[in-house]
Amino acid sequence: MREVFKAELENIADELVEMAAKVSEAMRSATEALENNDLELAEKVIDADTEIDNMTAGLDQRSAELLALQAPVAADLRVVISALKMSVALERMGDLARHIASLVRIRHPQPALPEGFRDVFLRMGEAAIRIGEEMEQLLDNPGLRGVPLINAIDEELDQLHLRVFALIADSDHGALSPAQIADITLLSRYFERFGDQAVNVSQRVEYLLTGSWVPDLSAKD
């Protein structure tokens, strides 16, 4: 029975890595769709999010069954609970990539980004892609080295998020329509929250490695 339990935990860990890879690819594609006003690619991101949602549901069900049937304690209990929390964060990250792609689809054939905001969102997209890749690597090869890297990229996203609002404030009166201001604000928030959720995942990995839980209160659920 113990070997079965161990195998199930390993399967859950493998699925978390697979989910992270899909989330990272979703953000990469959503960013490309945003930058290039690529409707076809945006549609692919939107459609692919269903697979991430289904993986989350399946992983959560298996984790719940392990809790009910195996009644794990101590370190094993931490693993299962952390897997549940990480799957929620990964599912939300997939949703955020889908939200970006959805805005591309809504505004097409017009671009979702006004010209004066392309540079800052290019930087946000690059940072979001990097944080997704670092998170995927962290789950595949758990270690404390990746945690501060993810925190640093998240801080970069936070600063770019503030930069977006500064650019809005500095825009000439009437240069942006209300719809454009709403779109820019939402897009910036999606990228910023993507980083926060990656931090949530990294905190759970750190917890598993150290047994210490000191959450970053700035990374809201």
pLDDT score recorded for residue 78: 81
Burial of residue 105 (CB within 10 Å: 0-12, 13-18, 19+) is: middle
Cβ(131)–Cβ(195) under 8 Å? Answer: yes
pLDDT score recorded for residue 219: 46
Q: What is the pLDDT of residues 27-55, one digit of tens each?
A: 999 999 999 999 999 999 999 999 999 99
Residue 194, Ramachandran bin (φ over 0: left; ψ between -120 and 50: alpha; else beta): alpha
Distance CA 201, CA 205 (A): 6
Quick one: CATH architecture of 1-210? Answer: Up-down Bundle (1.20)
pTM of structure:
0.91
Give the other-Cβ count within 10 Å of 125's Cβ: 21
pLDDT score recorded for residue 213: 64
pLDDT score recorded for residue 218: 47
pLDDT score recorded for residue 216: 53
Residue listed under structure tokens 């390993």: 10
pLDDT score recorded for residue 1: 52
Of 148, 60, 52, 131, the C-alpha closest to 91 is 52
Domain ranges in the chain? Answer: 1-210
Question: 40: which residues sit within 8 A by CB, 6+ positions away?
Answer: none
pLDDT score recorded for residue 215: 61
Residue 185, both tokens: 């604000």
Q: What is the pLDDT of residues 94-118, one digit of tens each?
A: 999 999 999 999 999 999 999 899 9
pLDDT < 50 positions in the chain: 217-221
